[in-house]
Every structure is written in C-alpha cells, then in structure tokens.
Amino acid sequence: MTGSACIAADTIARNAARHRLADDEPVWLFGYGSLIYKVDFPYLQRCPASVTGYQRRFWQGSEDHRGTPGRPGRVVTLVEEPGTRCGGMAYQVAARVFRALDVREKNGYLRLWTRLWLAGQKEVDGLIYIAGPDNPAFLGPAPDAELARQIGVACGPSGSNSDYLLHLARALRDLDEYDPHVFALEKALLRARKSGIAAPEANPLEAEISDLEFF
Ligand code: SIN
C-alpha cells in the first residue's frame, strides 16, 4: 500500500470533518468492543443492539491504549461479511460527545453511518467506529494462538491487552451474545498463560474466568 493510499493513523481531524452534527443533536452510537464495557462518556439512553453484514475481529493494532508503537496490542474492528450479525450495545448520545470519543478511537477508526437494530424495538441509523484495512495500525488476521500470544504480552496506557479481551468476553456473555472469535481467543489466552507463553498477571477477572463454562 502506498503512503497516499493509507489513511493517517490519527483520525481525529478526519472524523470531525465527516459529519455535520449540531452539538445537542441526539445520535445513536453502536459499540462492539471496549465501548460495550468501558462507558466513560455521558449517554441519554442505551440498549443492546446489533448490526448486520459485519463480524467482530481482533485485527486492529493498538499503539495508544493496549500496546505501544514498539509492541502493539490487538483490539477489535468490524470486517464486512455478508449474511452475518454482530451484537453489542447502542448508546444515544448528544453529538458533542463524539469530540471525546474521536480522541479515544483515534488510532485508525473512522465513523460510519449504518443501520442498527435496537433489541426488541426498532431500526435506527447510527454511527460506528471502524478501523479498515487501509489504516496504518491495521494488522489483519493471524492464527488464534498467535493472536492470543500477542494479546498476552501487550500493555499500554489504558492497561493490559489481556484485560481488554477478558472484559469484552465477559461483557458479551452478560449480553447473551455468542461470538466464537472472541471466546476462542479468550480460551487461547488462558491456555497460553497456563503454558507460560503469555505473561500471567494479577487480574481479578482471572479467577472468575478459570471456572467458566464456555458457550
Ligand atoms: C467499539 O468498541 O465500538 C470500537 C472499538 C473499541 O474501542 O474497542
């Protein structure tokens, strides 16, 4: 990929220019990764929700939250896959909230409009953050064992990469969402820890998860 074809790693300015929204305008946002369980922004209402035609994948590198430029972690993005569904949480927020969210999601994520299905309710238009294959932090697919090993050793300003994966898996379970990719990586991470490949760490989720009945 040439430099000009590549989008800038820091997407704050691009996202701010993408959508004309009045500060008070209520807008739906679909969260499918850390936005499900790390809710550090104000919202008007929230509701379990899903999008179709996308799958959640640990294919995006994280150099700012769960890793460093020298040792990037892996975080989720959505990849297009016709006929599939991805569950998460939708939040209705005042549009001004996107100023802070754009900073949080700056490492390669662009906002896109899509249709959201709010559980038991209705279909609405909402925004999602997607890190596409044309962003410099994109890492793409790898075997589960390799993804788990990378997640097991990475750590950044927002905490360990294992913590991101374990929290996401727990949040999906709480939502009754079955995601084979996420749960397979959770298992692979715990296996890697047991065999000493991934660094064990004091994590309160650990004890809870070691006794889990997986879906
Ligand atoms: C999301 O949660 O919707 C985006 C990816 C992330 O921040 O983990």
Predicted TM-score (pTM) of the model is 0.89
User: Residue 4 falls within a domain, yes or no?
Assistant: no
Task: pLDDT band for 112, please (50, 70, 90 cuts).
Answer: very high
Tokens of 167: 């929290």
pLDDT tens track for 69-82: 999 999 999 999 99
When divided into structural domains, the chain yields a total of: 1
User: Residue 6 falls within a domain, yes or no?
Assistant: no
pLDDT value at residue 3: 38
Range of the domain at 204: 12-210
Spatial distance between the Cα atoms of 58 and 163, rounded to a whole number of angstroms: 14
User: Residue 1 falls within a domain, yes or no?
Assistant: no
**Ligand 1 pocket mutation pick from 59, 109, 130 by most atoms within 8 angstroms of CB:** 109
User: Residue 3 falls within a domain, yes or no?
Assistant: no
In angstroms, what is the span from residue 88 Cα to ligand 1's centroid?
A: 10
pLDDT tens track for 25-53: 999 999 999 999 999 999 999 999 999 99
Please tell me the residue having the least CA distance from ligand 1 atom 3. 31
User: Residue 50 falls within a domain, yes or no?
Assistant: yes
The set of residues, in sequence order, having a beta carbon less than 8 Å from that of 213 and lying 6+ positions away, is: none
Q: Among the atoms of ligand 1, which is closest to the Cα of residue 104? A: 7
User: Residue 2 falls within a domain, yes or no?
Assistant: no
Q: Is the CB of 185 under 6 A from ligand 1?
A: no
Looking up residue 118, the CATH number of its domain turns out to be: 3.10.490.10
The distance from CA 144 to its chain's CA centroid, rounded to whole angstroms, is: 17
